[in-house]
Amino acid sequence: MNKKTIRDVDWNGKRALVRVDFNVPLNDALEVTDDTRIRAALPTIQYLLDHGASVVLMSHLGRPKKKVVDTLRMTPVAKRLQELLDRPVKTIGTTVGDAAEQAAQALQPGDVLLLENTRFDPREEANDETMSRQLAELGDVYVNDAFGAAHRAHASTEGVARFMPAVAGLLLERELAVLGAALDNPERPFVTIIGGAKISDKIGVIENLLGKVDALLIGGGMANTFLLAQNKGVGDSLVEADSVAEARRLLDQAQGRGVDLVLPSDVVVADAFSAEANTQIVSVDDVPDGWRILDIGPETRQTFAQVIGGAKTVIWNGPMGVFELEPFAAGTRAVAKALADSSATTIIGGGDSVAAIEQMGLADKMSHISTGGGASLELLEGKVLPGVAALNPR
């Protein structure tokens, strides 16, 4: 990576202002129900503490819509972090300003302070310079370790980096390294599997990947629009009529570039969007009127598994069907299993795909599970993340 990281800084006696992604789910009792993202930030926090720094942490949590929302305060996160770090984590009710500055000033090496939810301040998402300058008062060096928010140009992810030295944390570095290596210099065959609801979300991704991969497997709702582009009937399936021309263009592009773009050959159709619906397995040439495609069929699962089995690098983004409903989870499960059985470098991005893998208990069988759905999608699109661009060059 061509950016400085925390390993390039002498931390002795310095205050690190660290943007982390502590946007974790809470239950009604305001307890953290999944601490994956907190754990993911621990190596950076521990590194800073071990090297003589004090640490000022900041994150957004949920969608407070530019005002203080008591149920979205950072206190439950601090509680969990304190348990994981096995040392006190101070919280204050504010993000910036006098109280925050005093609390930051008072820190001794080894101390940890967690600022209040950055999105309580309307200036955060507006990337307002006055907030960025106030944040910069709270530390000596800025560290961005919030990969999951690095595609946003907000005050705490981008603006603040203009007003103080700015380096990458270890999680951010690793996410960029893994995805970067796969995209720029993959061991071949390089296969990607793209699914999910909508093609319009991922046209940029498909376009960019067509220039890099050996095979592209497409499932999920977005495959329907491709099938339509091939003049197949898709009944009442989710389609994006606006994107049919785009789908046709991508099919032509794949052919022109010699990329093996594989669409489903058979599908699971249902007569309603429901776990209780009647279902049948049909060829993509025979989707009955009034029925909708909700998963890839058994023949397609086998084809996809075979292509994945022959790959050396695999990136997967987006489920193959409506996996939240058991009758339509088999396609997603088959792909997850093929990845788990493969010896290739396997990388999973996308919130719902990651949820599916975790639900199936296969997370530890993957080489890398990205902590950032939106950010990893933008990397797959070939975009530069604003939160990364703002860091100091090496």
Alpha helices in the chain (DSSP H): 36-50, 75-85, 98-105, 122-125, 129-136, 170-184, 203-210, 222-229, 244-257, 298-309, 330-341, 351-359, 373-380, 386-389
What is the Cα–Cα distance from 239 to 223, expressed in whole angstroms? 9
What is the Cα–Cα distance from 189 to 12, expressed in whole angstroms? 46
Distances (CA, A) of 133 to 55, 156, 391: 18, 10, 16
Distances (CA, A) of 320 to 296, 301, 310: 6, 9, 19
Active site residues: 37, 198, 351, 374
Residue 324 interacting with ligand ADP (CB under 6 A): yes
Residue 139 interface partner, choices ligand ADP, Mg ion, none, CB cut-off 5-8 Å depending on type: none
CB count in 10 Å sphere of residue 214 = 18
Binder among 46, 351, 365, 383 for ligand ADP (CB under 6 A): 351
Q: Taking contact as CB under 6 A, which single stretch among the options 6-14, 72-80, 160-168, 350-358 is the one that binds ligand ADP?
A: 350-358
Residue 262 Cβ, how far from ligand ADP at the closest point, in Å? Answer: 16
Cis before 393? omega within 30: no
For residue 22, give every residue at least 6 positions away whose Cβ sits within 8 Å of its Cβ, in sequence order, or none: 37, 38, 41, 57, 59, 61, 74, 77, 81, 114
Site string for ligand ADP, 147-186 (x = CB under 6 A): ----------------------------------------
Site for Mg ion in 347-386 (CB under 5 A): 351-352
Site string for ligand ADP, 233-262 (x = CB under 6 A): -----x------------------------
Select 235 or 318, whichever has its Cβ closest to Mg ion: 318
Q: Taking contact as CB under 5 A, which single stretch among the options 63-71, 138-146, 325-333, 343-351 is the one that binds Mg ion?
A: 343-351
Binder among 30, 197, 251, 281 for ligand ADP (CB under 6 A): 197
Q: Taking contact as CB under 6 A, which single stretch among the options 28-36, 50-58, 67-75, 321-329 is the one that binds ligand ADP?
A: 321-329
Residue 139 interacting with ligand ADP (CB under 6 A): no
Secondary structure of residue 292 in the 3-state scheme: strand
| Residues binding ligand ADP (CB under 6 A) | 196-197, 201, 220-221, 238, 293-294, 317-319, 321-322, 324, 350-353, 373
